[in-house]
């Protein structure tokens, strides 16, 4: 009872919000969780089979068009809608052209950006969006005809080439080619730059691949050479047949976190949090006045926290908030989710979910987001959600400086586990 009274008083005595809707600058938006590729180390791809994991496939969905207006209205200083998903490619939404039109009609001064792999969706849709003249494409292409598929597994180079030609002929000098620099493609970078210039791409950005992704892809390449994997990337049994993995469901009869295991895990993770408690923690997403909207219509504070959306959709509060939460996923994610829902309360999912009569402005003005602001109030030694402390509190000093964690402005996105550009 005392805890409930304390929370009630706390809400009554603070006028702070997570982000003032009048100041919101960027919406990072995943209109669909569908994708046509199987990139290694993507959260939708299984390492053994390089196929989509069952729990991702089961929960794939497109956002309903009726929610786009709710997402975009009454945000006077919105500068950009960046369609860059956690697990989906925006061009896979069957109504992506209509989404772009709705955003531009409601908020004509807002930049609409689509991050895509260059071969998702239909050519005709890509052409129609280019003809709008007001949409900025960022093409994730990590090689040439003989190498792009190594990371962008399943990519069709003929389609990519057609899309580049469309840019050259319809909307030149407006778009960006974003190249992830792996060991396998470094030697082709200069040729790719020339190709980008020839197709009138305005910017060619080189970003270092995450080190674990680079190392894993090197392993896959070696496994293919040695015969441990087939050319699709699937691990093989001794008899040469692909391993068929029995994908887990979230539910399991044997939860990992029985009392003793849960206590041990909690002590370990609390130790991680305590190691950083004397540092200055600032949420870079809040600092940039940026928010994440998912294909479920849920509005999360960042792209890291949004990985909880499937669990939030499937399970009730009592299960998520309990110390014996049952889900066959990583131990640290279970603990972080349990801590999140215990502290933010039973109304979190309802409060963050867009509806036709409940806008993004309403979400940001909800009690749940006010409570989040209190929990993560910017002051030394206060990072009161383990999800945030563990996800963003364990950077090295160098990584923090590169990413802007120790400054007043986030300036880069170059190191492992940092914000996505």
97-113 confidence digits (pLDDT tens): 999 999 999 999 999 99
Helix (H, G, I), strand (E, B) or coil at 327: coil
Provide the pLDDT confidence category of residue 194 given band limits of 50, 70 and 90.
very high
Predicted confidence at residue 375, as pLDDT, reads 79
30-44, 324-338, 346-360: range with lowest mean pLDDT: 324-338
Per-residue pLDDT at 314 exceeds 80: no
- Taking the CA atoms of residue 370, residue 374, residue 379 and residue 383 in that order, the dihedral angle to the nearest 10 degrees is -110
Q: Which structure tokens are listed for 383? A: 């990072």
Contact 419, 205 (CB under 8 A): no
Provide the pLDDT confidence category of residue 247 given band limits of 50, 70 and 90.
very low
Distance from the Cα of residue 315 to its chain's centroid: 21
Provide the pLDDT confidence category of residue 189 given band limits of 50, 70 and 90.
very high
Helix (H, G, I), strand (E, B) or coil at 86: coil
Per-residue pLDDT at 21 exceeds 70: yes
Predicted confidence at residue 284, as pLDDT, reads 75
Q: Is 250 exposed, middle or buried (0-12, 13-18, 19+ CB in 10 A)?
A: middle
Per-residue pLDDT at 81 exceeds 90: yes
Per-residue pLDDT at 296 exceeds 70: yes
**DSSP symbol at 92:** G
Residue 237, number of CB atoms within 10 A of its CB: 9
**Edge-to-edge strands, sheet with 203-208:** 203-208, 176-181, 135-140, 111-116, 80-83, 26-29, 290-293, 299-300
Provide the pairing of β-strand 26-29 with 80-83.
parallel
Distance from the Cα of residue 26 to its chain's centroid: 14
65-69, 162-166, 226-230: range with lowest mean pLDDT: 226-230
Per-residue pLDDT at 254 exceeds 60: no
Predicted confidence at residue 325, as pLDDT, reads 52
pLDDT digits (tens, 9 = 90+) for 368-378: 998 888 877 65
DSSP string, 151-203: HSTT--HHHHHHHHHHHHHHSTT--EEEEEE-TTTGGGHHHHHHHHHHTT-SE
Q: What is the largest CA-CA distance in the chain?
A: 68
Provide the pLDDT confidence category of residue 116 given band limits of 50, 70 and 90.
very high
Per-residue pLDDT at 5 exceeds 60: no
Q: Which residue has the higher pLDDT, 272 or 316?
A: 316
Contact 227, 156 (CB under 8 A): no
Output the CATH code of domain 21-226: 3.20.20.70
Predicted confidence at residue 416, as pLDDT, reads 30
Q: Which residue has the higher pLDDT, 81 or 247?
A: 81
Per-residue pLDDT at 44 exceeds 90: no
Residue 262, number of CB atoms within 10 A of its CB: 20
Q: What are the residue boundaries of the structural domains of the chain, listed by start?
A: 2-17+255-283+315-403, 21-226
Q: What is the mean pLDDT of residues 86-101?
A: 95
Half-sphere exposure of 371 (CA within 13 A, CB side): 21
What is the residue-averaged pLDDT of the chain? 78
Contact 257, 323 (CB under 8 A): yes
40-54, 256-270, 319-333: range with lowest mean pLDDT: 256-270
Half-sphere exposure of 58 (CA within 13 A, CB side): 11
The candidate with the shortest Cα–Cα distance to 296, out of 109, 108, 86, is 86
Block residue for tokens 């110390």:
323
Predicted confidence at residue 281, as pLDDT, reads 54
138 backbone dihedrals φ, ψ, rounded to 5°: -115, 115
Provide the pLDDT confidence category of residue 34 given band limits of 50, 70 and 90.
very high
Q: Which residue has the higher pLDDT, 86 or 110?
A: 110
Block residue for tokens 């999800």:
387
Q: Which structure tokens are listed for 170? A: 């319809």
Q: What is the mean pLDDT of residues 208-217?
A: 84
Give the whole-angstrom CA distance, residue 156 versus residue 288: 35
């Amino acid at each position: 009872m005392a805890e409930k009274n304390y929370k009630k008083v706390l809400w009554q005595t603070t006028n702070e919000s997570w982000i003032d809707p009048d100041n919101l600058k960027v919406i990072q938006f995943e209109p669909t969780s569908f994708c046509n590729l199987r990139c290694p180390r993507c959260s939708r791809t299984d390492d053994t089979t390089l196929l989509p994991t069952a729990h991702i496939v089961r929960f794939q969905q497109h956002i309903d068009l009726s929610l786009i207006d709710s997402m975009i209205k009454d945000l006077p200083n919105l500068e950009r809608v960046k369609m860059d998903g956690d697990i989906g490619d925006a061009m896979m939404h069957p109504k992506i052209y209509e989404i772009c039109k709705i955003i531009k009609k409601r908020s004509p001064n807002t930049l609409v950006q689509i991050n895509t792999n260059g071969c998702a969706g239909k050519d005709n849709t890509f052409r129609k969006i280019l003809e709008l003249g007001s949409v900025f494409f960022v093409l994730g292409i990590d090689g040439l005809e003989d190498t792009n598929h190594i990371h962008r597994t399943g990519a069709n180079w003929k389609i990519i080439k057609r899309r580049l030609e469309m840019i050259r002929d319809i909307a030149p000098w407006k778009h960006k080619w974003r190249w992830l620099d792996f060991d396998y493609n470094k030697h082709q970078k200069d040729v790719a730059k020339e190709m980008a210039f020839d197709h009138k791409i305005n910017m060619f950005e080189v970003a270092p691949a995450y080190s674990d992704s680079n190392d894993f892809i090197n392993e896959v390449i070696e496994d293919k050479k040695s015969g441990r994997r087939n050319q699709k990337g699937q691990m093989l049994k001794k008899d040469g047949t692909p391993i068929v993995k029995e994908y887990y469901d979230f539910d399991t009869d044997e939860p990992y976190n029985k009392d003793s295991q849960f206590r041990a895990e909690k002590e370990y993770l609390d130790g991680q949090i305590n190691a950083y408690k004397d540092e200055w923690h600032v949420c870079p997403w809040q600092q940039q006045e940026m928010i994440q909207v998912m294909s479920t219509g849920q509005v999360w504070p960042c792209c890291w926290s949004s990985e909880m959306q499937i669990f939030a959709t499937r399970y009730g509060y009592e299960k998520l908030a309990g110390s014996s939460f049952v889900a066959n996923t990583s131990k640290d994610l279970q603990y972080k989710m349990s801590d999140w829902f215990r502290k933010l309360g039973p109304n979190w999912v309802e409060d963050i979910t867009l509806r036709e009569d409940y806008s993004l402005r309403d979400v940001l003005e909800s009690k749940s987001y006010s409570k989040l602001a209190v929990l993560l109030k910017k002051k030394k030694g206060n990072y009161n959600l383990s999800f945030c402390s563990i996800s963003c509190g364990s950077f090295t000093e160098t990584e923090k400086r590169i990413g802007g964690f120790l400054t007043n402005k986030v300036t880069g996105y170059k190191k492992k586990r940092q914000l996505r550009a």
